[in-house]
Amino acid sequence: MSESQIDTQTLGEQVVRVLKTIFDPEIPVDIYELGLIYDVFVNEDADVKVLMTLTTPNCPVAETLPLEVEEKIKSINMVKSAEVEITFDPPWTQDLMSEVAKLELGLL
């Protein structure tokens, strides 16, 4: 591996750790465990793209949450650029929540 190449798996794991520090303001669970993160892409140039959704299209944080995600990812030293794409396909449902989130919310 040349010096210019990065370990995309390690960086991906760092991105997930950062995502787990961001909470939905209406539900006391982080956005990763809530199932709002559909995919994290990391390339060898340290560009990160996150495909995520919101609990509803008219979520009160629809404007601010993607910006917070982008800013926190950019704060990781190795990240060169970060992009957040919002999708509602498929729409979010409680089924996407991890067991940790369901347990925390008393759904199990």
Domains of the chain by residue range? 8-92
pTM: 0.90
DSSP 42-106: E-TT-EEEEEE--SSTT-TTTTHHHHHHHHHHHTSTT-SEEEEEE--SSPP-GGGS-HHHHHHTT
* 54-58, 68-72, 85-89, 99-103, range with the lowest pLDDT: 54-58
| CATH superfamily, with its number, for domain 8-92 | Fe-S cluster assembly (FSCA) (3.30.300.130)
Cα distance between residue 32 and residue 19, in whole Å: 6
pLDDT reading at 16 higher than 60? yes
Q: In the predicted model, what is the mean pLDDT of residues 19-30?
A: 90
pLDDT reading at 2 higher than 60? no
Q: In the predicted model, what is the mean pLDDT of residues 59-70?
A: 91
